[in-house]
Chains A and B, each alone.
Chain A
Amino acid sequence: MVEGKNMGKEIEIHPVTRIEGHAKVTIHLNKDDSVKEARFHVLDFRGFEKFSEGRPFYEMPGITSRSCGICPVSHLLASAKACDAIVGVKPPKAAVLLRRLMHMGQLIQSHALSFFHLSAPDLLLGMDAPPETRNIFGLIEKKPDLAIQGVKLRKFGQEIIEKVAGKRIHSYDWIIPGGAKWPLSKENADYLRSNLPEALDIALKTLKMFKSSLQGFDDEVENFGNFPTYYLGLVTPKGGLEHYDGKIRIVDAEGKIVADQLDPEAYQEYIGEAVEPWSYMKFPYYKPLGYPEGIYRVGPLARLNIASHCGTPLADEELKEFKKLGKKGVVQSTFHYHYARLIELLFCLETAKELLEDPAILSERVSSKASVNNEQGVGVAEAPRGTLIHHYKVDAQGRILWANMIIATEHNNLAFNKAVTQVAKKYVKAKQLQEGMLNRVEAVIRAFDPCLSCATHAVGQMPLQVQLIDAEGRLVDQKVR
Chain B
Amino acid sequence: MSALTVKLKIDNIEVEVPEGTTILKAARDNGIEIPTLCSLEGLTNYGGCRLCLVEVKGAPKLFPACTTPVSAGMEVITNSEQLREYRKMTIQLLLSERTHVCSVCVANDHCELQSLANKLGVDHSIFERNWTRKEIDSSHDFLVIDRNRCILCTRCIRVCDEIEGVHTLDLKQRGRKAEVIMDLDEDWVNSCSCTSCRKCAKVCPVGAIYIEGEPITRTKNKDVAEFILTRRQRK
Contacts and interface: CB of A to CB of B under 8 A. Distances in A.
A369 B215 CA distance: 15
A397 B137 contact: yes
A4 B215 CA distance: 33
A56 interface: yes
A56 B207 CA distance: 13
Contact of B215 (A1, A54, A181, A399): A181
B136 A56 contact: yes
A40 B62 CA distance: 60
B104 interface: yes
A62 interface: yes
A372 B104 CA distance: 20
B103 interface: yes
A176 interface: yes
8 contacts: A3-B131, A4-B129, A56-B138, A62-B103, A62-B104, A66-B103, A371-B212, A398-B138
A56 B103 contact: no
Nearest to B189: A397
A446 interface: no
Contact of A170 (B103, B132, B133, B213): B103
Contact of B212 (A3, A8, A58): A58
B136 A4 contact: no
A399 B131 contact: no
A55 B146 CA distance: 9
Given A181-B215, A397-B139, A54 B133 contact: yes
Interface in A152-177: 170, 172, 176
A54 B213 contact: no
A59 interface: yes
Interface of B: 103-104, 128-133, 135-139, 141, 144, 146, 212-213, 215
B35 to A, nearest CB: 27
A171 B128 CA distance: 31
Contacts of B141: 371
Contacts of A4: 128-131
B124 to A, nearest CB: 14
Given A4-B128, A63-B104, A55 B136 contact: yes
Given A1-B132, A4-B129, A4-B131, A399 B104 contact: no
Given A4-B131, A66-B104, 13 more contacts: A1-B131, A4-B128, A54-B136, A55-B136, A56-B136, A56-B144, A56-B146, A58-B212, A172-B104, A369-B213, A397-B137, A397-B139, A399-B138
A13 to B, nearest CB: 18
Contacts of A62: 103-104
A170 B128 CA distance: 29
Contacts of A1: 128, 130-132
Nearest to A56: B138
A414 to B, nearest CB: 32
B103 A397 contact: no
Nearest to A182: B215
Contacts, number: 42
A181 B215 CA distance: 9
Interface in A178-197: 181
A399 B136 contact: yes
Interface in A350-383: 369, 371
Contact of A54 (B128, B131, B135, B144): B135
B129 to A, nearest CB: 5
Contacts of A55: 136
Contacts of A371: 141, 212
Which 9 A-B residue pairs are closest in the complex by CB-CB distance?
A62-B104, A397-B138, A4-B129, A63-B104, A397-B139, A56-B138, A1-B130, A4-B128, A398-B138
Contacts of B130: 1, 4
Contacts of B144: 56
A145 B138 CA distance: 54
Contacts of A5: 128
A392 to B, nearest CB: 15
Most chain B CB neighbours (cut-off 10 Å) among A8, A54, A172: A54
Contacts of B131: 1, 3-4
A4 B127 CA distance: 11
A292 B141 CA distance: 48
Interface in A32-70: 54-56, 58-59, 62-63, 66
Nearest to A170: B103
Nearest to A172: B104
B133 to A, nearest CB: 6
Nearest to B141: A371
Contacts of A59: 104
B132 to A, nearest CB: 7
A153 B125 CA distance: 41
A374 to B, nearest CB: 16
B191 to A, nearest CB: 14
Interface in A1-37: 1, 3-5, 8
B174 to A, nearest CB: 17
Nearest to A176: B213
A293 B135 CA distance: 44
Contacts of B138: 56, 397-399
Nearest to B216: A173
Contacts of A181: 215
Interface in A59-118: 59, 62-63, 66
A1 B136 CA distance: 20
A159 B135 CA distance: 39
A401 B165 CA distance: 36
A67 B132 CA distance: 23
A369 B141 CA distance: 13
Nearest to B146: A56
